[in-house]
A and B are shown apart, each in its own frame.
Chain A
Amino acid sequence: MYKRDFLVLFFTCIAAYFLGACQANGDFTGREYMPDMTHSKAYEPYVEGRTVMIDGDSVQLFPNNQAALKPVAGTVSRGYVPYYFEDTAEGYEEAGRALVNPLDAYDKTVLEQGKIAYEINCAICHGAKGAGDGPIVKSGAYPAPPPSYFREDILVLPEGKMFHSVHYGKNLMGSYASQLTKEERWKVIAYIKNMQAEKIAKDYKVSIEDAHQVALGKKPIPTEVTEETTDEAATEEAEVSTEDSTSATGEE
C-alpha cells in the first residue's frame, strides 16, 4: 500500500515536471490555463479584431481585422487645435512671422521638461549640446548630419520657423507631430533657444536677456562687445506680439 502511494506521488511529480514543456520559448507563446481570464473582451491596444456571427454569417468587425482605427473622417480629438500654416515655403515664412512661444522661456520647469524631450527626440542627430553631432552622426551610421544650432543663420532662426519644421519636418528631418504634442514642441524650442542664448551671451558678452532677444531675432547680432542691459522698448514689443499670436498657437 505504502509503496503504491509512493509510486503515484512519484509519477504525478514526473508528470508535473513536464509542465515545463508548456512554457514559452522562441516562437512558442506557452500554454495558458483559463484563457478567458487572460484575453480581454474589450479591445486592448494593438490587438486583432474578432469575427462575430451575424445571421449565421461570420463577419469581420474591422477592416483588415485590425482593431486600431484612424479617427473617423471629419472628427478631431478633444482639445485639438488645427495648425494653420501650409507645408510650403510661404507657410514656413508666415509661421516664422506669426508664431511665438506661448510658454515662459525662462521658466525652470519648461526648460527642464524641454531638455528631457530634446534628449529623447532630438539629441540623437542634433547632439546633446546642439552642435549637430549626435551619436548616430558621430558613429557614421547617419549619412546626412544636420547643421549646428550655432550656425549664424540658425542662431537667430525665428521660433515659428522651428515649430513649423518640427510639425512638418524639414529637408531630411521627418515630422515629429506624432511624437510631440504642441506644448512639448514649444518646450523643446524654448530649450534650444536657451542654449543659443547662452552661446550668444558667452560669445558676444551680452546679458542673457539681451541674448534671448538676439536669438529670437528681435535684436541684431551685436557687432562689438557692449555692456548694455535690456532695452525696454524691445521687451514691450515682445509682449505685444505674444498676445497677438496666442490665438494662432493655442494650447493643447
Chain B
Amino acid sequence: MKILCNTKSRIAGLLLILLTFLALQTNSFAQTPREDPVYLKGETIFKANCTSCHKVHDKLVGPALAGVYDKYDSEWLYSWIKNSQAMVEAGDPDAVKIFNEYNGSVMTAFNIPNEEIDAVLQYIKVETEVPVVADGGPIGENAPQEGSQMAIFLAIIALILLAIMFILNRVTGTLNELVREKMGMLVPEKWTFGDLMKSKKVITLASLALIIFVGYKTVDNAQRLGRQQNYQPAQPIKFSHELHAGINEIECQYCHAGAAKGKSAMIPSANVCMNCHKAIKEGPKYGTEEIAKIYNAIGWDVENQAYIEGYEQKPIEWIRIHNLPDHVYFSHAQHVTAGQLECQTCHGEVQEMEEVYQYSSLGMGWCVNCHRNTEVDFKGNDYYQIYEKFHEQMKSGEMKKVTVEDIGGVECQKCHY
C-alpha cells in the first residue's frame, strides 16, 4: 500500500512536469495574437472606456461586441463611436435600430482618433476568434490531490510508529517484571480498576468535581436560556458574508445602510444586490442558482438585461438572527455613529463567516460589562461636547479616562423605559 501510493504519485509528478514543460515550450515558440502591440493598445483603451457598458461575449448595458467588425463597415463604426446620437438623429437605419433595441440608452461620444478605434476593434477581434487557453489548469487540479495523498501517507506512518512504540513499551515492561522476579526483588502490588472505584478518596474527589462541573453548567445554561447565542439558521439564499465582506471587501454599511442612521441596521432590499449582480451572474460556489433567486424576487430578465415590466416583486424572506427582547431599547446609530464602534465588536468576524451566526449573547451582563470597560473617545467627537465637566477633568488630568458608565451608560432607564 505504502509503496504503491508512492510510485503512483511519483509517476503523476513526472507526468506533470512533462506536461508543463510541453505547455511552456509551445507557448514560447508561437507568437500569440495576445502579444501583438496593437492588441495590447486596444486592450488598454477598451478597459478604460468601454467595460462599464460592453463585454465581448455578453450583453451588458450595450450589445455584446463579438463580431461587430464584420457586421458594420469601419467608417460606420468610426462615426458611431464618435457621435452615435448624431447618427440616430440623422436617421441612419442601423443606428436607429440599435438605439431602439437598447431602450434609447445613449452611448457616450468618444472623441478618439481612428487608429485607436482600430486597435479596440483588433482587441475585440482577437477576443472573439482566439479562445483563451486556461494556463495552469491541470496543475491547479492536481495539486490539492497530491497534498491530501501526502497527508494520508504521513498519517499512516505516524500510526505505525505509535503502534510500534506501544508494543515495545509492553515488551520492556514485562521483561522488567520478569527480571525483578528472577532476582527475587519485590514486585509492587497491582491496583485493579475495581479497587480504584471503591476507594473513598476517589469517590469523594469525583463527586466533588461532578457537583462543581454540573453546578457551573446549570447556572450557565439557566443564564443562556432565552438568549440565542450561536443561532445559525439556514437562509433562503446561501449568501456568504465571507465572500462579500471578506474576499470582496464590501463595506458592511454598503448593504446595511441603516446602521449609521437609525435603530435598525437594515436588511438590504434586492435593488442593492442588483448594483453588482446586474453584471455578476454567476457565483464561485453555487453558480447561477443562488443569484437567480434575486432575479426572481425583483423581476430581472437576464437574457435582455432589463427589469420585467409589471412584474410582481416578492421580498426575500431572510431569517432574522439577532433579536433583543421587547423591554430593551437598542439603537445601531448610537453605537456606530456616536460611539464609533466597529461592527465586529458585537457581531464577531462576520467577514470570515460563510454562514452568519449570533456571535454575542446579547445578555444584559454582556451589555453592562462593555459599558463599564469601554472608553469614550472624546477627541474630535462633537456628540460628547456637552460633557463639559469631564472635558475639564480630562484636561487637568484629574480623570484618566471616561467610560460609557461615567456618561450614564448603565443607568436603568437608558435602555429600559
Contacts and interface: CB of A to CB of B under 8 A. Distances in A.
Interface of A: 10, 13-14, 16-17, 19-20, 22-34, 37-41, 45-46, 66, 88-89, 119-121, 123-124, 132, 135-136, 139, 141-148, 151, 153, 171-176, 178-179
A84 B211 CA distance: 73
B258 to A, nearest CB: 9
A53 B106 CA distance: 55
A45 B264 contact: yes
Given A19-B221, A144-B55, A178 B228 contact: no
Q: Give the interface centre of B49, B215, B271, B275 by most chain A CB atoms within 10 Å.
A: B275
Contacts of B250: 124, 135-136
Q: Which 4 A-B pairs have the closest CB atoms?
A: A24-B231, A19-B221, A174-B275, A16-B218
Nearest to B277: A174
B197 interface: no
Nearest to B106: A89
B104 A89 contact: yes
Given A16-B218, A136-B276, A174-B278, A23 B229 contact: yes
Contact of B323 (A28, A38, A173): A38
Chain B interface SS verdict (over half): loop
Given A37-B326, A46-B264, A172-B61, 15 more contacts: A13-B214, A17-B218, A19-B224, A20-B221, A24-B231, A25-B230, A27-B232, A30-B224, A34-B226, A39-B326, A45-B264, A121-B251, A124-B249, A124-B251, A124-B254
A45 B226 contact: no
B272 A40 contact: no
B278 A172 contact: yes
A144 B58 CA distance: 11
Interface string B42-81: 0000011101110100001100000000000000000000
Contacts of B275: 173-174, 176
Contacts of B226: 30-34, 38
Nearest to A25: B230
B181 to A, nearest CB: 46
Chain A interface SS verdict (over half): loop
Nearest to B327: A37
Contacts of A120: 251, 253-254
A45 B53 CA distance: 37
B60 A144 contact: yes
7 contacts: A14-B214, A24-B229, A25-B232, A40-B326, A46-B267, A151-B49, A153-B108
B227 interface: yes
Q: Give the interface centre of A121, A123, A172 by most chain B CB atoms within 10 Å.
A: A172
A122 B48 CA distance: 18
Contacts of B278: 172, 174
Q: Give the interface centre of B85, B222, B234, B267 by most chain A CB atoms within 10 Å.
A: B222
B218 A142 contact: no
B99 to A, nearest CB: 10
A144 B325 contact: no
A172 to B, nearest CB: 5
B49 A24 contact: no
